[in-house]
Amino acid sequence: MEPRLVRDVQRYYPRIYLACHVDHVRARSTPYRVSSKDSALLSHLDTREPVRAGQLARHLGVVPSTLSEALKRLERLGYLLRTRRIGDRRSVELRLTEAGAEALAAGSVLDARRVQRLLSRLRPEERRHAVAGLALLAKAARAMEGVR
């Protein structure tokens, strides 16, 4: 691994974050009733790929019962689906709903308008490459976290 690549990620990521970051929000201050903590939890979920609740609890460093309460609330709001895993009825799989994806975007620490302005400074092909690169880094991060 080239040390320069590591330094480049360390240099570039904070620039993007600082350019697009907004203050953390409180659940009561958004129409989606999602706090920054809720948003952080939802950010670990995907609309297609399930995440097992036990793995997520371990990754977040919380006991399953603590996570369960947060998941119940987010499920009641319609932001995630909890289903029993096929072949292992004790295991619960989590998926983000479309409403959850909207709530996640609204509660993101990255302001959508700022991200849009950032992306608009690139040509369409550059945008696709930039987002594809972030997707690859996110995929590697997810694998590194042990959360599928």
Residue-wise pLDDT for 5-30, tens only, equals: 999 999 999 999 889 887 655 555 56
> Which of 35-39, 103-107, 131-135 holds the top average pLDDT?
131-135
Token pair listed for 93: 């799989």
Residue 148 pLDDT more than 50? no
Residue 111 pLDDT more than 60? yes
pLDDT band of residue 119 (cuts 50, 70, 90) is: very high
Diameter of the chain by CA atoms?
49
Mean pLDDT of 53-79: 91
Domain 23-109 has CATH 3.30.450.40: no
Which sign, positive or negative, has the C-alpha torsion 63, 64, 65, 67? positive
Residue 36 pLDDT more than 80? no
Token pair listed for 91: 């295991």
The pTM of the full predicted model, rounded to 2 decimals, is 0.69
Domain definitions of the chain by residue range:
1-22+111-148, 23-109
